[in-house]
Structure 1
Amino acid sequence: MMKFALALLFALFCNLTPALAQENAPDALVRKVTDDVLTVVRQDKEIRSGNTRKAIDLVETKVLPYFNFQRMTALAVGRDWNKATPEQKTRLAEEFKTLLVRTYANALTSYKDQRIVYKPTRLQPDDSSVVVRTEVVQPGSQAVQLDYELAKQGDGWQVYDVRVAGVSLVTNYRDTFSQEVRSNGIDGLIALLGKRNKELQAGKS
């Protein structure tokens, strides 16, 4: 069930339109779109049977506009982000986005009739960021806490991190990234991410 919880990082916004993003508070948005997504996944036998390519296409087509990959990459790289040139930052964000899309599209195929429990959200009118708290529940398994961190962007909201059982999925990469930068510099980190993406594409992992 943990694997499926990871998938909701991207699956959350599969059927979201720009107008919907502007009209809903972040907690209402999470509730509606998650319910819509689970309906789609329940009906899609190919995704549930392990069709990762179809899951990737779904994520790339419907999800990417609603995630702040530049901010997510900066959080993952940490203080080494300031060492990167503008071109390196662009390449890092692109490779990290590809890694996350492939990883969580693969995880999306693990859906097994889980349901989502929504927790109350504290949001003030002038808040520019918010945490939307949920739990992923499946009979016979311990519930997994899944918290989305969103920031306001214009009239809408974008996800910049998610915590599974209290662990940040974005900053969880930081130690590995820092070690690579110390050993091989920013270009080494870009190369490492590129290699990992090629492995995932080839089905090695």
Structure 2
Amino acid sequence: MIAKQSDTRNRWKALVLAGATMAVLWTPGLGLAGPATDQIKGTMDQVLKILTDPTLKGEQKTKERRAKLHKIVVEQFDFSEMSKRSMGRNWSARTPEERTEFIRLFTDLLERTYIDRVEGYTGEQILYLEETSDGNYSEVRTKIITKRNQEVPIFYRVQKTDSKWEVYDIIIEGVSLVNNYRTQFSKIIRTSSYQNLVKKMQAKFEDEKMAETDSPKSKVR
């Protein structure tokens, strides 16, 4: 099933820890902070503010809290670009209608997973190491320090669109999130069909939607 492999979940867990804690600790390493780092940090400051807001805690505030998180997430991530890259060579074979549908499904998959995990924030810390740039592309290098003193390197690859930087891939412990999904998607398309991939994604969407309805228990206390 899509995105249910343990390694994918572990990487997303690490990603979310990063997303929730970017505002906790500012410790520059060898490199200097740049505009991409500043923007990501500013975005995650907003995430942390929502997660720690006492007026947004509890089950009754789940819908309002998640709506606020959704607004932030869609501004920081370039889901269209991530969708295209996750399909690789299979993207060119898709019709405009199929591309629109896939972007919608993949965006929902990433967004729901991110928000679900980010609500598990428990105060881990992050170090900002450096930022490397090449024209309109940059890589923001960070490192998570868990409560068990485990170090998790997380690199954000971003591109400048208009006047802002947007995330199009995340490298967690040396593994590209987009490439990981591309491997899964390509295998399903190769061994079955693109239509079957869409069915799996739609099924996952319905399962998670039903789970939210049946058990809207908040993870933020």
TM-score, normalised to structure 1, is 0.80
Alignment map for 1:140-155 (pairs within 5 Å): 140-155=148-163
Distance, in Å, in 2 between the alignment partners of 1:177 and 1:89 is 14
TM-score, normalised to structure 2, is 0.74
Asked if the contact 1:133/1:148 (under 8 Å) is kept, the reply is yes
1:187 paired to 2:195:
yes
When the two structures are aligned, how many residues end up with a matched partner? 193
Distance, in Å, in 1 between the alignment partners of 2:138 and 2:96 is 29
Asked if the contact 1:66/1:157 (under 8 Å) is kept, the reply is yes
- Which residue does 1:99 correspond to in 2? 109
Q: Secondary structure at the match of 1:70?
A: helix
- Which residue does 1:63 correspond to in 2? 73
1:166 paired to 2:166:
no
Percent identity between the aligned chains? Answer: 27
Gapped runs of 5+ residues in structure 2?
1-9, 23-33, 213-221
Alignment map for 1:1-205 (pairs within 5 Å): 4-7=13-16, 25-44=35-54, 53-54=63-64, 56-123=66-133, 127-203=135-211
Moved over 4 A (4+): 1-4, 8-13, 44-49, 51-55
Amino acid at match of 2:15: L
Q: Secondary structure at the match of 1:133?
A: strand
Q: Secondary structure at the match of 1:110?
A: coil
Amino acid at match of 1:7: V
Q: Note the alpha carbon deviations across 1:148-205, whole angstroms, 9 max, x for none.
A: 110011221111111111211222112221122124422222221111111122229x
Amino acid at match of 1:104: Y
Structure 1 pair 134/52, CA: closer, same or farther in 2 (3 Å)?
farther
Gapped runs of 5+ residues in structure 1?
14-23
Asked if the contact 1:152/1:158 (under 8 Å) is kept, the reply is yes
Amino acid at match of 1:131: E
Asked if the contact 2:66/2:115 (under 8 Å) is kept, the reply is yes
Q: Note the alpha carbon deviations across 1:30-73, whole angstroms, 9 max, x for none.
A: 23332343243233586688x76555423322221332212101
Structure 1 pair 123/69, CA: closer, same or farther in 2 (3 Å)?
same
What's the C-alpha RMSD, in Å, of the aligned pairs? Answer: 3.0
Asked if the contact 1:76/1:173 (under 8 Å) is kept, the reply is yes
